[in-house]
Amino acid sequence: MNRFFAAGAVMALAAAGSAMGQITVANTDNPAVLSSFLAPGGSGINIVSMTVSGHSVGNAMTTGVYFLGGAGNAYDLNRPGIVISTGNAEDYSTGPNTVINRTFNYANPGGGGAGVPATPAQDALLSPITGFGPGAHYDVTQIDITFTADPGVNTVGFDVVFGSEEFFEWVGTSFIDGFGLYLNGVNIAQYFGSPVNINHPLAGVVAETELDGVILGPNMQFLGPTIPGVNTLTIILCDTSDGDLDTTVYVSGLGIPAPGAAALLGFGGLTALRRRRR
């Protein structure tokens, strides 16, 4: 049976208060726009270049930006940022979960099955995250960035929300969609000692979101050290084993960490505070 049509037992969503602020997503793959949302002026970080390798079909696109409106929001995000999805990014504004197991397959928009295969270089980045080798990754979106840090800025921080339609039916199977943040060649997206994928043990339902499940923070913070001169950053997200069921990530705050956050680097190195498209 196609997984797209497999009905899983999904936890009931709690009612959300009317005062909850909305997160609105707008599709774009424009590097200048994405850069301005990821590292706005005054962040201490200066993006030199950005290359976006994603997917689009018609009006559907795997990358976008998000805006915040109203007081508070479901993910505890405190600033605008970018959205990466293996599906259509615009489908993941906040609001009621209207479609269980939502999917947009860029290899076969009218159906499901295999997605667009990853390149060998993408497989190499993703295998440590998903636990699967070459040929298992699909619908990869990869954003490659070079940046410099202002004098005195020796640590950068990211706010990340990771959610998926793979939750909770496909945890512990071969459909382990995953996400990485490679800062100067090191994946700093490790949350309580585990990579960021749908097998992470700290997952649950967040009300008023389209995603079936979210790694609970839900707003995780990842920190990493900068180096003098030009730094590199690769943001990468994939489907694993097929192209069905969207996984979506919200990323913001490439810049100076919140006061006190950098102290976490003193505890065992890089520390974190928690389908599909072509």
For the chain, 278 residues long, the average pLDDT of each consecutive 10-residue run is 34 34 96 96 92 95 94 90 97 93 84 84 98 94 97 94 96 96 98 96 94 95 96 97 93 79 39 33
Residue 95, domain member (yes or no): yes
The residue segments making up the domain with residue 231 are 21-266
The distance in angstroms from the start CA to the end CA of the chain is 23
For residue 6, tell me if it sits in a domain: no
Torsion of CA 53, 57, 60, 65, to 10 degrees: 20
Tracing tokens 């209207």 back to the chain, one arrives at 98
Question: Cis link prior to 218 (omega < 30° from 0)?
Answer: yes
Q: What is the DSSP letter of 36?
A: H
Q: Are 23 and 73 in contact (CB under 8 A)?
A: yes
Residue 200: inside a domain: yes
Domain total in the chain: 1
In a domain, 42, yes or no: yes
Confidence at residue 221, expressed as pLDDT on a 0 to 100 scale? 95
pLDDT recorded at residue 20: 60
Question: Phi and psi for 10 in degrees, rounded to 5?
Answer: -115, 135
Q: Is residue 111 part of a domain?
A: yes
Residue 81's alpha-carbon distances to 63, 67, 146, 200, in angstroms, are: 11, 7, 18, 23
Looking at residue 10, its pLDDT comes to 27
Rama region for 126: left / alpha / beta (φ>0; ψ in -120 to 50; rest): alpha
- DSSP-assigned letters across all residues of 72-129: -BTT---S-EEEEESS-GGGGSSS---STT----SS-TTS-S--PBPPHHHHHHHHHH
CA 59 – CA 48 distance, rounded (Å): 28
Please name the residues in contact with 261: beta carbons below 8 A apart, sequence gap of 6 or more: 157, 221, 223, 273
* Residue 272, domain member (yes or no): no
Strands (E) in the chain, as ranges, are 22-27, 45-53, 56-57, 60-61, 63-69, 81-85, 137-149, 155-164, 178-183, 186-187, 190-191, 194-197, 203-204, 213-215, 220-225, 231-240, 247-255
- What are the structure tokens assigned to 27, written together? 């599709």
- Looking at the domain assignment, is residue 13 inside a domain? no
- Please give the pLDDT value at position 81: 97
What pLDDT sits at residue 225? Answer: 96
In a domain, 219, yes or no: yes
Which pLDDT belongs to residue 256? 81
